[in-house]
A and B are shown apart, each in its own frame.
Chain A
Amino acid sequence: MTATSISATTSTVPRHADVVIVGGGIAGLAFARELTARGMRRIVIVERGYPGSGATGRNVARIRRMQLTEDLCRVAAACQDKYERMGGDLGSNVLFYRLGYAWILYEADEVERMRDIVAMHTRLGIRSALLSPDDTLRHLPVFEGGEPVAGAVLSDDAIVHHDAVVWAYLDHLASRDVTLIARTRVTGIEHGDDGVQAVETDRGRIATRVVLNAAGGWSGELNRLAGVRMPNRALRREVLVTGPLRRSIEAAVTFYRPSEGWFNQTLRGEIVMGAVDPDEPEAVEQRSTWAFLQRTAALMTRKAPALRDVTVIRQWAGMYDVTPDHLAIVGPTAQLQGWWQANGWSGRGMLLAPFLTDLLAECLVTGRTPAMLEPFLPDRFSPDDAVAPMSADYYARYGRSTTSADATVPGDVTPNAPVP
């Protein structure tokens, strides 16, 4: 990747490529890296904005092993290991930091369910603990004076800096045979009986036999251009950030009930937070709303009254690319030969993408599908699933535990969240 190719100054695209990756976010960049690590060359990344301009640059980069089901915990642990090694692998610091992670619980039956989940974590070697209400306030005094807590599950999970991850990949790819064309839109996909033939962009045509759809919230649009039907939809999520404060919140916090919200302090000291709108409509939409500010202020000051004196300086929105089962879509597509997917992250792209694209590259180069990739393969959906109704609730799916009958979760009783 040459220096200028990151910017918009490249006016034409290469005419041929071995692999074209559409989307210069975490999935596209990580996949390019994993391909070059396996000796592949002539890779072109087409990015509609600037690298990381979609969800990659809009999330808060929590890298959490502590999940609600055993399958997910195993994958997430491998993903976190990947991040822990990333500094050495890429030669750049991505600010991997074990801030700690806490689910705050407000109802007694939530606490009961969590006993089994913590036991499952312990079995898998994930360090988590169930805290009493007193211990919760001792560890997170920000909740003092707020809605009474019933307890918390605390783990030693981590955050990274999302932009630092993008820079790490860009700096790494700069010395390899990868061209990133920014500010460029894909206008069409040429394909015939034997699969993909070319990607058409507003800067020219790139002939290729392999395309990766790593377009995040836009992956649905891109699939339609290729005539491929997949069930993932875009769902807006909003974030606000405060001015920097001295370290005072020693965990990334999430609560599910009675409404879903989260906050944490960055390494610089800003507090990022958000309250989820359970009725958020599906749409490719990145505009901010006033209702989000009100909703978040109401929820946070009720649970953590000390936060009422922090100052909001900025808000933004990004998109979750959500699938019906809330598992990512990663792998080749039977519907169109040469059309590969790395999308449908359902809000977990930062966590999952570096590791799963590593497996995907293995799959592409060797033709063998690694076992851990199986749950994420695109062909678990038939084209007819593309019209399946979808739950707006991110956690609803985990009510159907895949490994442990006990591993039910807080979100499963949210009244307006039908399990698909």
Chain B
Amino acid sequence: MAPRRLLPSDSGPSPNPARVRFTFDGRTYDGVEGEPLAVSLFAADRLILSRSFRFHRPRGLMCNTGQCGWCECEVDGRPSVRSCRVPLRDGLVALGEHAWPSVDRDLFGWLDLAARWIPPTFYHHRFLRPRALRKWYLDVLRWFGGRGRLRVGGVSSADPGRVTRSLDVGVLVVGGGPAGLAAAEGAAAEGAAVALLESVAEGRGVDAVGVRVHTATTAVGWYDGVVTAVGPETHWTIRAGVVVAATGSYERVPAVRGADRPGVIGARLALELIERYAIVPGDRPLLVGSGSDLADLTAVRAALVAAGAKPVGPIPPASLRRILGRRRVTGAIVANGGRERRVSVDLVVFSARTPNLDLVLAAGAAVNMRDDVVSPVVDDVGRTTVPRLVVVGSAAGWPTSGSEGPARARAAGAAAAAAVLGGLGPAHTDESESSPAITVAPVTGRALVCFCEDVHVDEIRAQCAAGYADPELVKRRTGALTGPCQGKYCRQGFVAAMAGVAPLDLGLPTGRPPLRPIRLGDLVPAGGSGTSDLDDAT
């Protein structure tokens, strides 16, 4: 009933993985060198890696892409590091944060039982009397706040800083997945100068001539059409005739109670655990997904069965009512023909792909919501309502299975290149397309919308009922959309929770840069002056 490693086989990361020792919250563990810290802890059955900010809910490995922030802990003295992004090395010291005495057994976890009586605005009319205690109340609140420890003092060595370089290019492709690679190839074949950014170090290469690939380089901003990116030694400011966002999709967490429990993981992580890291994530997993997401789950199911697990499902997301267990998944409530029954499972694997809207929202392109998914408004070659932004692949909501996906991305890349070479940016798509079409599945009151701030569906509705129905006001009063995941895991739920109780013609609340959390030291330009190297910045 726990994750386990498969016996060494050719399915592992390398034939003879180097074993290393590291500690987490004072306990020593074995792991595989180079494997993500969060994955090694998962394999060692340390499922709780962090506690949520407001109610100290247990959280663990969920996405393994550095997006959700549920695996944040202190690593070698650095606060709030996403441990799925940390390659394991010998002697690494990790500590849980925001918990007492430990993240595994956190006394403040009891706060969650009182969540109903602690709304996001709980302090508004409280803590004013007696007057003499006002400061003390806030000292206590302050003590409950915070998360990571900032190690002050004793810091001497300075960061070297990154060189600022600018790049002018015909077509910039952001994302080196299948769609991004195909789009880059298509654009290069048309004769355009193409650059491709891939945030992963071991990004795949592109064979086509004329494609300049930057691996380990992450696009972090869209500032008036200029894309900025951070690489290992470089700050890039990139001006492109057309920016092709091939930023892919991520998996949306089910909108039911208990969906944030350790042991609820995305389908792609499940597959990665088995195939790449030789870890069987659970013995009796429940698979949740439907429609186009079934392809992923079918692969997960086959891999789980081959590894000796006994999966249940896939069941459609609408049938999942609740996930049970406090410190880890112990079961689920599933609706079956109007009746609800409890199934005993030790893992929930969900698949509900939803486009990564980072660049789309930063650029101010129109989005709409259909079939419960917020997608950019695009035409058949990916053109958005912003003249120089094209979106392809699953980031555009296109199906990825089969050969159709890459072919369509290649055509979109070629069209973008042709437009640039012809001296024209892509035209706007028909604006009439951009009116929001909202069809959403019902969401239940005590399900979480925002995981960073533990905002429940009914708390969002309560704000609307109290007269604060403007999405910007709901965002500010609840904190939804403002946490460290930068709205990635709550934007769709937010729209769903607001639907029907508030006018949505105002659009989504403003997204704010940067597109990803960035360590302050990584933003330092070389020379450290802050101005001398900025000549070719925005």
A binds B: yes
* A residues whose Cβ falls under 8 Å from a Cβ of B: 2-9, 49-53, 57, 87-88, 91-93, 95-98, 141-142, 144-145, 163-164, 167-168, 171, 174, 182-183, 242-249, 259, 267-269, 275, 287-291, 293-302, 305-316
Task: Select the residue from A242, A307, A313 with max chain B CB neighbours within 10 A.
Answer: A313
1/0 per residue B444-480: CB within 8 Å of A?
0000000000000000000000111110110011000
Q: How far is the CA of A6 from the CA of B474 in the complex (A)?
A: 12
Q: How far is the CA of A168 from the CA of B128 in the complex (A)?
A: 13
Do residues A310 and B150 form an inter-chain contact, with CB atoms below 8 A?
A: yes
Selected interface stretch from B13-21, B133-141, B289-297: B133-141
* Nearest 9 pairs of A and B residues by beta carbon: A3-B467, A298-B530, A308-B521, A269-B146, A297-B523, A246-B146, A144-B153, A295-B530, A305-B155
B224 at the interface (CB under 8 A from A): yes
* 8 Å CB contact of B145 from A3, A92, A267, A310: A267
Write 23 A-B pairs (CB below 8 A) sorted by A numbering: A7-B468, A8-B470, A52-B476, A88-B131, A91-B125, A95-B123, A97-B135, A168-B124, A247-B145, A248-B149, A291-B534, A293-B523, A294-B534, A297-B522, A301-B158, A301-B520, A302-B528, A305-B155, A307-B150, A311-B80, A311-B517, A313-B484, A313-B517
Interface residues of B in 113-161 (CB under 8 A from A): 121, 123-128, 131, 134-135, 138, 141-143, 145-156, 158-159, 161
Q: How far is the CA of A107 from the CA of B278 in the complex (A)?
A: 60
Selected interface stretch from B36-44, B401-409, B506-514: B506-514
Distance to closest chain B CB from A260 (angstroms): 12
Do residues A243 and B149 form an inter-chain contact, with CB atoms below 8 A?
A: no
Do residues B124 and A92 form an inter-chain contact, with CB atoms below 8 A?
A: yes
Distance to closest chain A CB from B21 (angstroms): 24
- When C-beta atoms are compared, the residue in chain B nearest to A161 turns out to be B123
* 8 Å CB contact of A7 from B143, B228, B469: B469
B218 at the interface (CB under 8 A from A): no
Interface size counted on chain B using CB atoms at 8 A: 78
- When C-beta atoms are compared, the residue in chain B nearest to A266 turns out to be B145
Do residues B146 and A309 form an inter-chain contact, with CB atoms below 8 A?
A: no
Interface residues of B in 194-232 (CB under 8 A from A): 221, 223-224, 226, 228
- Chain A residues in 8 Å Cβ range of B514: 293, 312, 314-315
Do residues A294 and B513 form an inter-chain contact, with CB atoms below 8 A?
A: no
Distance to closest chain B CB from A101 (angstroms): 15
Distance to closest chain A CB from B362 (angstroms): 10
Q: How far is the CA of A31 from the CA of B223 in the complex (A)?
A: 36
Q: Is the interface of A mostly helix, strand, loop or mixed?
A: mixed
Distance to closest chain A CB from B97 (angstroms): 8
Do residues B529 and A246 form an inter-chain contact, with CB atoms below 8 A?
A: no
* 8 Å CB contact of A49 from B164, B472, B483, B533: B472
- When C-beta atoms are compared, the residue in chain B nearest to A315 turns out to be B513
Do residues A305 and B158 form an inter-chain contact, with CB atoms below 8 A?
A: yes
- Assuming the contacts A49-B472, A91-B125, asked whether A294 and B519 have C-beta atoms less than 8 A apart, the reply is no
- Assuming the contacts A92-B125, A245-B79, asked whether A9 and B538 have C-beta atoms less than 8 A apart, the reply is no
B438 at the interface (CB under 8 A from A): no
Q: How far is the CA of A171 from the CA of B477 in the complex (A)?
A: 13
- Chain A residues in 8 Å Cβ range of B152: 141-142, 144, 248-249, 306
Do residues B530 and A294 form an inter-chain contact, with CB atoms below 8 A?
A: yes
Q: How far is the CA of A208 from the CA of B223 in the complex (A)?
A: 42
Do residues B146 and A142 form an inter-chain contact, with CB atoms below 8 A?
A: no
- Chain B residues in 8 Å Cβ range of A244: 53, 145-148
- Chain A residues in 8 Å Cβ range of B524: 294, 297-298, 301, 308
Q: How far is the CA of A141 from the CA of B153 in the complex (A)?
A: 6
- Assuming the contacts A93-B124, A290-B221, asked whether A243 and B484 have C-beta atoms less than 8 A apart, the reply is yes
Distance to closest chain A CB from B124 (angstroms): 5
Q: How far is the CA of A301 from the CA of B514 in the complex (A)?
A: 19
B482 at the interface (CB under 8 A from A): yes
- Chain B residues in 8 Å Cβ range of A98: 135
B67 at the interface (CB under 8 A from A): no
- Assuming the contacts A87-B128, A267-B142, asked whether A6 and B468 have C-beta atoms less than 8 A apart, the reply is yes
1/0 per residue B53-97: CB within 8 Å of A?
100000000000000000000000111100000000000000000
Do residues A295 and B531 form an inter-chain contact, with CB atoms below 8 A?
A: yes
- Chain B residues in 8 Å Cβ range of A248: 149-150, 152
B356 at the interface (CB under 8 A from A): no
Q: How far is the CA of A50 from the CA of B476 in the complex (A)?
A: 11
- When C-beta atoms are compared, the residue in chain A nearest to B510 turns out to be A316
Q: How far is the CA of A9 from the CA of B121 in the complex (A)?
A: 23
- When C-beta atoms are compared, the residue in chain A nearest to B525 turns out to be A294
Distance to closest chain B CB from A272 (angstroms): 12
* 8 Å CB contact of A145 from B147, B156, B519: B156
Do residues A8 and B506 form an inter-chain contact, with CB atoms below 8 A?
A: yes
- Assuming the contacts A87-B128, A167-B477, A244-B53, asked whether A309 and B147 have C-beta atoms less than 8 A apart, the reply is no
B486 at the interface (CB under 8 A from A): yes
- Chain A residues in 8 Å Cβ range of B502: 7
* 8 Å CB contact of B141 from A267, A313, A316: A267
Q: How far is the CA of A246 from the CA of B147 in the complex (A)?
A: 5
- Chain A residues in 8 Å Cβ range of B523: 293-294, 296-297, 312
- Chain B residues in 8 Å Cβ range of A50: 470, 472-473
- Chain A residues in 8 Å Cβ range of B101: none
- Chain B residues in 8 Å Cβ range of A288: 223, 512-513
B299 at the interface (CB under 8 A from A): no
- When C-beta atoms are compared, the residue in chain B nearest to A277 turns out to be B531
* 8 Å CB contact of A87 from B53, B121, B134: B134
- Assuming the contacts A291-B538, A297-B520, A297-B523, asked whether A93 and B125 have C-beta atoms less than 8 A apart, the reply is yes
Do residues A269 and B79 form an inter-chain contact, with CB atoms below 8 A?
A: no
- Chain B residues in 8 Å Cβ range of A299: 530
Q: How far is the CA of A287 from the CA of B221 in the complex (A)?
A: 12
